[in-house]
């Protein structure tokens, strides 16, 4: 059966502008993209009137924490996917730092089964590189791939041992699978929570140096060159990491990278005080690093934007900044934040932002979604590009509300999200 999304504004990359289109959906696929000028008879088919709002390919987020199994007080697959859908995301890839760690086929199967039953967006599970993410023994990559894992990562911690990482890359490469790396050398971190910069100097705190991230990036691009694996760098936050990835790409190493909205819009100098909602890993870096990651994203050194949605309960975040866990939620603020700070300010055109949240992650990870084309899955997001609203964490569909963006006035709010041709979230 056919249905239509009518009067949507679709980004035309060649022309560099929005154009009015009617989109016909059939059997979960995009069946037709028709010119929206003039009147038209839709033959009584069901219609969603997009009313001159943006219609984008559904956003893709290759780095999220759904906390299920084991930490359901923070989030679960039902609430996490609802929160994602509200943010306009139709595909999300979830990290294995669950309890148990996603290091066996049984846990991968649990996530996929629960996502099929209770999730409302596509969920792609990553599995751990090492058992229990302890860095001591590789997991069974072949069995995890067979169960449906899409890549391997110990996100939450860095793989400290270079030989372990090299063995992981060799094995992943032999299976045609990517390695996704949280880059952090523990020996350089020493219990600090904020970056070496003005904030720690002003407050007499220990700082996390940029090299703690960049040393792993440098090590790993060398190992990726040696092994040939697709190596993907998580949440890039430093100037040095950008430089290393740029160099690696220039000599043909198969490396891709991601950056989070908070690392693009906030620096350590914005931290208002000892507030756990400003504590995340990697930490907010200096304004110079922020400029470097923005430029890295702009020149293609960094391929995509991810949220690193990292929910933690109010109780956990309320333990004081030293004891609180690292991480902030991200789904429900990502697009309005970037649209307001980069598109409305004139720095980026809308098409650039959309690419980095749709087609670019799809390309890097070989997904069939992320494009608005006849024959592609009908994963679509309708966004109101006009209305300004304040971020109100009390309205989040996530179980958690740990965000530094509460009260920010933003424009560009998703209003309706479609996966496989079905509406999975609607504001109305």
According to DSSP, residue 132 is labeled G
Counting contacts by CB under 6 A, is residue 133 touching ligand NCD?
no
To ligand NCD, the closest distance from the beta carbon of 157 in angstroms equals 7
Counting contacts by CB under 6 A, is residue 326 touching ligand NCD?
yes
Considering only 308, 316, 360, 384, the residue that binds ligand NCD (CB under 6 A) is 308
To ligand NCD, the closest distance from the beta carbon of 328 in angstroms equals 7
Considering only 173, 182, 219, 230, the residue that binds ligand NCD (CB under 6 A) is 182
To Zn ion, the closest distance from the beta carbon of 309 in angstroms equals 8
Question: Which one from 308, 360, 379, 384 is the annotated catalytic residue?
Answer: 308
SS3 content of the chain, % helix, strand, coil (to 5): 35, 25, 45
Cβ–Cβ < 8 Å for 197, 239: no
First to last CA, the chain: 24
Say if strands 54-57 and 380-390 run parallel, antiparallel, or are unpaired.
Answer: antiparallel
Tell whether 396 is in a known binding site.
Answer: no
- What is the distance between the alpha carbons of residues 413 and 166, in angstroms, rounded to a whole number? 43
Q: Is 68 among the catalytic positions?
A: no
Counting contacts by CB under 6 A, is residue 156 touching ligand NCD?
yes
Handedness of CA 405, 324, 130, 302 (dihedral sign): positive
| Listed residue (379, 372, 419, 409) closest to 9, CA to CA | 372
- What is the distance between the alpha carbons of residues 377 and 27, in angstroms, rounded to a whole number? 9
Interface with Zn ion in residues 221-240 (CB under 5 A): 234
Counting contacts by CB under 6 A, is residue 303 touching ligand NCD?
no
What would the x/- binding string for ligand NCD be over residues 86 to 125, using CB under 6 A? -----------x----------------------------
Cβ–Cβ < 8 Å for 129, 139: yes
Counting contacts by CB under 6 A, is residue 75 touching ligand NCD?
no
Binding site for ligand NCD (CB under 6 A): 65, 97, 155-156, 182, 280-281, 308, 310, 325-327
Residues assigned a catalytic role = 308
Binding site for Zn ion (CB under 5 A): 155, 182, 234, 308
């Amino acid at each position: 059966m056919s249905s239509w999304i009518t009067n949507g504004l679709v980004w035309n990359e060649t022309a560099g502008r929005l154009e009015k289109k009617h989109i016909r959906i059939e059997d979960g696929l995009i069946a037709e993209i028709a010119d929206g000028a003039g009147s038209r008879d839709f033959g009584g088919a069901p219609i969603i009137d997009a009313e001159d709002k943006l219609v984008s390919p559904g956003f893709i987020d290759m780095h999220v924490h759904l906390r299920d199994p084991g930490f359901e007080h923070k989030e679960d697959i039902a609430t996490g996917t609802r929160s994602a859908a509200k943010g306009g995301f139709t595909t999300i890839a979830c990290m294995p730092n669950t309890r148990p760690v996603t290091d066996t086929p049984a846990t991968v199967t649990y996530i996929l089964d629960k996502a099929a039953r209770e999730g409302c967006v596509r969920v792609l599970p990553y599995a751990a590189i090492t058992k229990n993410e302890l860095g001591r023994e590789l997991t069974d990559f072949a069995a995890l791939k067979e169960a449906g894992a899409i890549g391997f990562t110990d996100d939450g911690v860095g793989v400290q041992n270079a030989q372990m990482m090299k063995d992981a890359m060799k094995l992943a490469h032999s299976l045609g699978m990517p390695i996704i790396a949280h880059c952090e050398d523990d020996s350089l971190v020493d219990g600090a929570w904020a970056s070496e910069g003005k904030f720690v100097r002003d407050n007499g705190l220990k700082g996390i140096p940029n090299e703690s991230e960049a040393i792993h990036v440098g090590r790993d691009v060398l190992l990726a060159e040696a092994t040939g694996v697709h190596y993907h760098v998580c949440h890039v936050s430093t100037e040095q990491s950008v430089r290393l990835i740029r160099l690696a790409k220039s000599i043909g190493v198969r490396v891709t990278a991601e950056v989070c909205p908070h690392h693009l819009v906030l620096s350590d100098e914005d931290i208002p005080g000892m507030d756990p909602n400003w504590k995340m890993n990697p930490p907010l870096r200096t304004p110079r690093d922020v400029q470097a990651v923005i430029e890295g994203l702009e020149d293609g050194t960094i391929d995509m934007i991810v949220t690193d949605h990292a929910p933690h309960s109010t109780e956990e975040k309320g333990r004081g900044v030293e004891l609180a866990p690292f991480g902030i939620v991200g789904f429900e603020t990502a697009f309005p934040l970037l649209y307001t700070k980069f598109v409305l300010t004139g720095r980026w055109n809308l098409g650039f932002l959309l690419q980095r949240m749709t087609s670019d992650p799809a390309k890097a990870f070989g997904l069939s979604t992320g494009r608005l084309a006849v024959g592609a899955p009908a994963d679509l997001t309708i966004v109101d590009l006009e209305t300004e609203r304040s971020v109100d964490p009390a309205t989040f569909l996530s179980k958690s509300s740990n965000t530094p963006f509460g009260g920010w006035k933003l424009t560009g709010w998703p209003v309706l999200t479609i996966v496989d041709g079905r509406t999975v979230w609607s504001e109305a």
